Chains A and B, each alone.
Chain A
Amino acid sequence: EIVLTQSPGTLSLSPGERATLSCRASPPISTSYLAWYQQKPGQAPRLLIYGASSRATGIPDRFSGTGSGTDFTLTISRVEPEDFGVYYCQQFGGSPPRTFGQGTKVEIK
């Protein structure tokens, strides 16, 4: 079974700061088989990044994804007030074929 572990659990930041969110896969997954989602309170998740590093339609370029195999990272270059929420990574292709990480909450400092 593939397990995705996200860290930190909570990230407290001020607007304008850089956010670095980690997602670790065990066992390793194929590089392009990872997606990232943003969820705001009371809303459905929204696709941010697919294929580990491609931005979904309409996603600002301050969001970027990198990584391969075991370690993946979502970076927000300069956090905006509307970026606060919970971020999930999700894998494809393992067993089971879709799983989510437990989430990282980005909150206002």
Chain B
Amino acid sequence: QVQLQESGPGLVKPSQTLSLTCTVSGGAISGSDYYWHWIRQHPGRGLEWIGYIYSTGSTYYSPSLKSRATISVDTSKNQFSLRLSSVTAADTAMYYCAREDPPTTYYYYGMDVWGQGTTVTVSS
């Protein structure tokens, strides 16, 4: 059974770069056919999609974060990562990673595996 676990610094200073890692256990990222997502949730708010990396290495980001977000994969460590540059207090949130089966032409399978989330606070 595949499990995801987010990790990273809980506190980041304004203007710095936030770096988070999602470690995949119970299955290999390399050679798998999945989308790997990052989603965040501001305190007391709803879910905000950040972006994904596909098994081909292609990425796509939310327009609101596109200029600051980078998602990458390290297959040797079975991890994928999020880097968010120039953070401000508005980036304080719970960050989740999730796995998604590739949609077909006619069907969408949803994000079926989620990590527990990691809290990030941006403060000096």
Where the two chains meet, the residues of A that have a C-beta atom closer than 8 Å to any C-beta of B are 1, 30, 32-35, 37, 39, 43-47, 49-51, 56-57, 86, 88, 90, 92-93, 96-103
Contact = CB atoms under 8 A, between A and B. Distances in A.
A35 B106 contact: no
Given A34-B108, A50-B108, A92-B103, A44 B96 contact: yes
Contacts of A35: 108-111
Interface stretch (B23-31, B79-87, B114-122): B114-122
Contact of B62 (A57, A90, A96): A96
Interface centre among A43, A47, A49 (most CB of B within 10 A): A47
Contacts of B111: 35, 37, 45, 47, 90
Interface residues of B, number: 23
A33 to B, nearest CB: 5
B48 A100 contact: yes
Interface of B: 37, 39, 46-49, 52, 60, 62-63, 96, 103, 106-112, 114-117
CB-based closest 9 A-B pairs: A35-B110, A50-B110, A44-B114, A92-B108, A100-B47, A98-B49, A33-B108, A103-B46, A47-B110
B96 A45 contact: yes
Contacts of B109: 35, 50-51
Contacts of A47: 110-112
Nearest to A43: B116
Contact of A93 (B46, B48, B63, B103): B103
Given A32-B106, A35-B109, 6 more contacts: A1-B63, A35-B111, A47-B110, A96-B60, A97-B60, A98-B37
A83 to B, nearest CB: 18
Contact of B108 (A1, A51, A100): A51
Contact of A101 (B39, B46, B103): B46
